[in-house]
Amino acid sequence: MSPIDVVIITAMEEETLPFLQRASEVGEEVAVGNSVQRTGTLGGLNTLFVRGGIGLVNASAAATAALLRAQYEAPEAPAPLVISAGSAGGLGDLVRVGDVVIGTQNINADADARAFGYELGQVPGMPEASLVPEVLLDASNIGTPGHGTVETVHHGLMVSSYSFVGHERSAVIKEQFAGALATDMESSAIAQTCTSFGAPFLAIRGISDLCGPASDADFLTHVDDAAERSAAITCAVLASWQDAGLLRGDTELAFA
């Protein structure tokens, strides 16, 4: 059985669909807990497409199930690359609807164990922030991936929250986490799970709203477009990594 090269985790079917449309040899749906898994080939890579459900707990469970499957099917193979894809709310001053944010750091905005000496956003026993392997960032040329597919791609801090972030909550997050570019409800949990499994991780999210007074309506209007842009940039980044020989275990993807 061929090892899984890439796991792509999305929360909703609308976010999964653009990947399935680009893939070949897509298998039947398999329900694993609250998640749905499909195998397929994306850009020549053996890919596991996972619809994990919304929220940190669903995301962590989906990532765990996917990584355990990868271990079971190919015990001697390195852990696959895991990508958190789909939509996100924009927080950065220069971030706009239609942009894509690539998370170089991922923090749980709801974690607060400062009473015990941890940093705000740090889950006890975990790193202060989940960082992306530097070798992946260097090879991805993440300032300009997409080759014209998306006008603006940002890279930097992403935060995740148990709550959908509207105007009031966004003001608090921006004050607490300077420089945060985007927020979602899954990526930090997937990143922490990947840290536990020693799997490389990256979040690539299209911006559907700006966490403002009309963020809920904006999200519903733009989620499909955001998902499409996330898929486009993800495929461009995967192609860049393949060109650099960073997938299929060619290079050790140690965490930064």
Residues annotated as part of the active site = 15, 209
Q: How far apart are CA 35 and CA 232, in angstroms?
A: 23
Helices assigned H by DSSP within 74-165: 134-140
What's the token pair of residue 166? 């509207």
Secondary-structure breakdown of the chain: helix, strand, coil percentages, each rounded to the nearest 5: 35, 25, 40
CA atoms within 13 A on the CB side of 103: 39
Name the residue among 226, 164, 197 with its Cα closest to residue 63: 197
Cβ atoms of residues 232 and 20 within 8 Å: no
Residue-by-residue DSSP string for 55-100: SHHHHHHHHHHHHHHHHHH-TTSPPPEEEEEEEEEE-STT--TT-E
DSSP 24: B
CB-based contacts of 115, cutoff 8 Å, min separation 6: none
